[in-house]
Amino acid sequence: MAPPSQAQPQPVSPEELYNVVCGAASQNPSEVQVSTDRLKDLLERPGAYDILHEIAAQKTVPLQVRQQAMIQFKNATSGHWRSRKNFPPEIKDRIRARTLSFLDETDDIIAECNALVVAKIARMDYPVAWGNLMSHLGGAINSSVDARYTNGDPNATLVLRRSLQVLNAVLKEYAGFKMLTGVKTMGKLVEDLRLPLQAHYARISSSLSSIAPASLSQLRTAEDLLLTHLTFKCLVKLAFWAYHRYTCCRDYQEFAPWVQDFFQNAAVQLQALSEMRIGLVSALGAGPPADAVSQRALDLLTRHVRVFGKLFRRMQRDNPAHFVTLPVCGDLVLYYWSKVVQATAGPSEQIADSALAVFPVRFLVQGMALFRDSLAQWAPVKKDGSTNDRVLTKEFVEDAVKILVTRFIPLNPTDLEEWMADPEEWVNTEEKENDQWEYELRPCGERVLMTLASQYPQYVQPLIQTTFNNLVGQRAIDLPAIIQKEALYCAVGRCAIRLKGAIPFKDWLESSLMAEAQETHPSYPIVKRRIAWLLGKLVADECLTANNPILWQVLVHLLRDQGPGSDAVVRLTAAIAIRECVDSLNFDAKTFAPFLPQVVTSLVQLTAEADSLEAKRRINDSLNTVIERAESRIVPLIRMVAEPIPQLWTAAEEDWLFKACLLGTVQKLVESAKENANSLSALVVPLVRECFIPPASIQLDQDAFALWQSALRNTNTIEGSPGLVELVPLIIQQLSSNFELLGTVVHILESYFLLDAPRILQVAAVDLLRAFNAAITEGAISTNIKHMTSALCLLTQVAPPALWGEAMHSSGLFLTVWKGLEEDKLPTIILTEYVYLLARIAVADRQLFLNLVSATAEALNQPVSQIWEPILNQWWTRFDNMSEPRLRKLTAMGIANLVSTGRPEVLDRLSTEICNLWIDVFGEIKEAQSNTGNDSSLTLYWDRPFDEVYTEVEGTLEHERRRAVFDNDPVRTTQLTGYIATKLREAEAACGGGAELQSRYLTNAEPTLLKQIYDAITGNRP
């Protein structure tokens, strides 16, 4: 009888799907939720996406329903298009054809979604499964251009607009391809489309030259601008792709002439469009146009001018060296700079972050960025050391510096308003300036100044020096003078490295900055904030040392001052500057020590007072750095720092970054205080415990582990109220479950063992070893198993066998080790580590070892001899895999202690494997001793110094605990020959005498081998 076939899912009902989409598009939240859930189910049925797409295409359907259907379809395309279940071939054919029916779509949302859908499908299907896509789009564009610009058909505008939008989306997808097939397809698209599109752009943009203030309000003007813009965006993608390929990838060289020609035309066109736009906006006067069409036209023109700048910047960033060789590149860059200069000559209102401004901020920033990154081509000396014929004149450079320092670098009214409205956010934004300099005038101006100072130090340095000398001693009283002083200080800070030797920074600090930091003028926070920033910058650039008491007096005053002439921005900036100074290479803790209490007190207070969590994080970062560099000097201040942390922790709720900072603060306290940090366990224990409760466990586990590890390494007890011993159940639970951070967990357990292994075993011996067993058997990687085995070896060294012996059996751990040896399928490194562990157990207590073997035999219902066999087999086999002499000696001692038990399974191998093993180790020790004093790279060092083995715990209390274990290790303290001689005598006694041992186990031994053993143990060699 044939098995019953699985029920096939029922096709979706078009009517039901339509009703569900209507519900999802409704204004009723409950209906939306129910319909959305139902829609997810329906979309799993055959044909659902085809019907959904059909709903979006039906123009008789309500617009909101069409939009909802199109959005849902768009969201599913990229993830499900390859699924034959959701999109069988016949449905794909219908959908691909239907997407092109949206080229006359009037709704922008639906049209934009359709463009994305076409692009995603084209990425997967073009040109193989959708070969007519480009011919269809090209035909639609060609016919629409002819219809609009030859026949004057207004209806062609919509099709042309939608076709260009779709083409732009497709080109964007293919321009990002890295695989060879995609690159080839994009290369073919460039070849086929560049000239037709360039011709269309010339034809469409020809109407732009006739734009006048009176024609801005005409709808056709806005349409022409939009179509011009869309066509050029397509060309930009083609041109930049070709530029990148032939300059960076060294292929498609055939496109180089076209790209160069295109760039030259674009540079000329940009200048014409820019001048036209400036003239139009200037002619319109102060206010923006009243009608929406004019505003739309101006916005499109501004965006179109900006897309030229985007292209030039992308080309410049992609290959700066080639960019400067492009035709008229230098003229283009200087044109942009001329607009920057022109903008400063007019009223300040002409510059604004608005599409309707005469000089939009983004246009000027593009020009400044292009100028900055092109300055190297005009440097007086080329990179190869030769003299450059094309250089900027001294007058040009000085004028540029003056413009930057007087017009772009000073704070403007908007900056001051934002400062007053939200001081903390203002500082946060300023601190992010490295990320935003290409988007805002002031940070961009600063970067241009720095580059000018780098390329033309012979002009910039004297100019700034002269300006500095003229202003440094003058007291600024009115706001304009204060703002200009702040700008000068900014310029000095930005160019500090170039001004070394020209400006006496130390004298300036002691003579002027000290006094200005005390100023109480209500506008002086502007200068004080810059002074704080400046000091941090000068120390970071090594123009000042952090060992000057005057420096700390100024910064501490700025940090603490709550009186007139100061504010939150000054204090927060001072906190950040203190971190810069404390973290410098030449920081001297002794010089800083007198200021430490004031700094720590103020930083703690400032953290509590800050409103935003980002500001709290910045202050906390400074505090953490201070604690770290202060080291033991922080001890008297521990309580004061620790006291507010619980309240800050609770208030932070789910701001994980700030909570991580707080954990870092406690960790720095622990590491600096060392043995004085025992009192911090009352803070450490609850914090660590809370970090492993979801959702905190996902965000903070690594930070919590770092704190936990530091607390253990820098204390001398796990007891307390609460004590670190209370976290033992948590670390055991992590051992058995947190495989991702298992290495860290084992490090923490080792720290516990070194602190008080007997106490740990009294609390949870069986649970601990059961967790080790679970971690080993449930998929831990080899590196972690090796680490766990080493930790278990450590446990056998620092705790009496009576505390861990029985648990070794009842937890199943010994059985797991035995099975690994018996099956012989684990990696060699793991099997070798298992032998080390067994050797440690044997050295610690031979009777315990025998008991474990007997208990395992009983548990498996096997003879004891069968349990011994894999143990002894691996003991010998893995000996050749042991590279470290110390561990080979451990193995020799372990087997010697098992020999002393008289077990026949062991003694049967005495005359062969065991004696050979001993002889090998004897030889290694003898060689090491005979080579003492020789500095030979070929010497195999018998005993590596402790400081080479445990470098990661250096400087902690755990370092000495590990040293004690290392120094007292029986493997290091025991003379092997004497040890083996003793164990052989014990074996003789166990067998009934030497003659009995000889007759039963040594009769067949090689005489030479026995003589070597005898000579070694009687000659007291090693």
Q: What is the pLDDT of residue 1022?
A: 42
What is the spatial distance between Cα 922 and Cα 757, in angstroms, rounded to a whole number? 33
Q: Which residues, at least 6 apart from 621, have a Cβ–Cβ distance to it below 8 Å?
A: 579, 661
Segment 936-964 mean pLDDT: 70
Comparison of pLDDT for 266 and 430, the residue scoring more = 266
**698 neighbors 704 (Cβ within 8 angstroms):** no
What is the spatial distance between Cα 139 and Cα 845, in angstroms, rounded to a whole number? 90
Q: Check pLDDT > 60 for residue 938.
A: no
Q: Does 954 reside within a domain?
A: yes
Q: Give me the number of domains the chain comprises.
A: 2
> At 226, is the pLDDT very low, low, confident or very high (cuts 50, 70, 90)?
very high
- Residue that is last in its domain, among 76, 98, 130: 130
Q: Which of 575-579, 604-608, 750-754, 792-796 comes out lowest in average pLDDT? A: 604-608
Segment 290-314 mean pLDDT: 95
Q: What is the pLDDT of residue 930?
A: 61
Q: Check pLDDT > 60 for residue 939.
A: no
Segment 554-559 mean pLDDT: 97
Rounded to 5°, angle at Cα 960 from 957 and 965 = 130
What is the spatial distance between Cα 999 and Cα 1002, in angstroms, rounded to a whole number? 6
Burial of 330 (0-12, 13-18, 19+ CB in 10 A): middle
- Give the number of C-alpha atoms closer than 13 A to the C-alpha of residue 646, restricted to the C-beta side: 9
Quote the domain boundaries for residue 976: 906-1018
- Residue that is last in its domain, among 109, 130, 151: 130
Q: Which residues, at least 6 apart from 912, have a Cβ–Cβ distance to it below 8 Å?
A: 1005
Q: Does 684 reside within a domain?
A: no
Segment 781-790 mean pLDDT: 94
The tens digit of pLDDT for each residue in 678-692 reads 889 999 999 999 999
Q: What is the pLDDT of residue 952?
A: 77
What is the spatial distance between Cα 236 and Cα 164, in angstroms, rounded to a whole number? 13
> At 935, is the pLDDT very low, low, confident or very high (cuts 50, 70, 90)?
very low
DSSP run (H or E) holding 117: helix 108-125
Query: Which tokens in the block code for residue 317?
Result: 């960033």
Q: Check pLDDT > 70 for residue 286.
A: no
Helix intervals (H) in 546-632: 549-560, 568-582, 589-592, 596-609, 613-630
The tens digit of pLDDT for each residue in 600-641 reads 999 999 998 999 989 999 999 999 999 999 988 999 999 999
Q: Does 525 reside within a domain?
A: no
Q: Does 1004 reside within a domain?
A: yes
Q: Check pLDDT > 60 for residue 782.
A: yes
**298 neighbors 281 (Cβ within 8 angstroms):** yes
Going through 660-817 in order, the beta strands assigned E by DSSP cover none
**303 neighbors 283 (Cβ within 8 angstroms):** no
Q: What is the pLDDT of residue 947?
A: 63
Residue 1010's nearest CA partner among 926, 905, 928, 918 is 918
Q: Does 207 reside within a domain?
A: no
**589 neighbors 629 (Cβ within 8 angstroms):** yes
Q: Check pLDDT > 50 for residue 1.
A: no
**677 neighbors 714 (Cβ within 8 angstroms):** yes
Task: Calculate the average pLDDT of the chain.
Answer: 91
What is the spatial distance between Cα 136 and Cα 263, in angstroms, rounded to a whole number? 29
Rounded to 5°, angle at Cα 623 from 618 and 626 = 130
> At 937, is the pLDDT very low, low, confident or very high (cuts 50, 70, 90)?
very low
The tens digit of pLDDT for each residue in 103-123 reads 999 999 999 999 999 999 999
What is the spatial distance between Cα 671 and Cα 492, in angstroms, rounded to a whole number? 38
> At 927, is the pLDDT very low, low, confident or very high (cuts 50, 70, 90)?
low
- Residue that is last in its domain, among 95, 130, 165: 130
What is the spatial distance between Cα 941 and Cα 934, in angstroms, rounded to a whole number? 11
Q: What is the pLDDT of residue 92?
A: 94
**703 neighbors 696 (Cβ within 8 angstroms):** no
**444 neighbors 369 (Cβ within 8 angstroms):** yes
The tens digit of pLDDT for each residue in 381-404 reads 777 777 777 889 999 999 999 999
Rounded to 5°, angle at Cα 352 from 485 and 449 = 40
Q: Around Cβ 933, how many Cβ atoms within 10 Å? A: 5
Segment 511-531 mean pLDDT: 94
Q: Check pLDDT > 70 for residue 176.
A: yes
Query: Which tokens in the block code for residue 927?
Result: 């060689």
Segment 539-557 mean pLDDT: 95
First to last CA, the chain: 80
DSSP run (H or E) holding 987: helix 976-991
Comparison of pLDDT for 390 and 442, the residue scoring more = 442
Q: Does 240 reside within a domain?
A: no
**871 neighbors 891 (Cβ within 8 angstroms):** no
Q: Does 21 reside within a domain?
A: yes
Q: What is the pLDDT of residue 78?
A: 79
Percent of the chain with pLDDT over 70: 96
Q: What is the pLDDT of residue 949?
A: 61
Token match 């960790």: residue? 667
The tens digit of pLDDT for each residue in 188-218 reads 999 999 999 999 999 999 999 889 988 999 9
Q: Does 383 reside within a domain?
A: no
Q: Check pLDDT > 50 for residue 940.
A: no
**295 neighbors 288 (Cβ within 8 angstroms):** yes
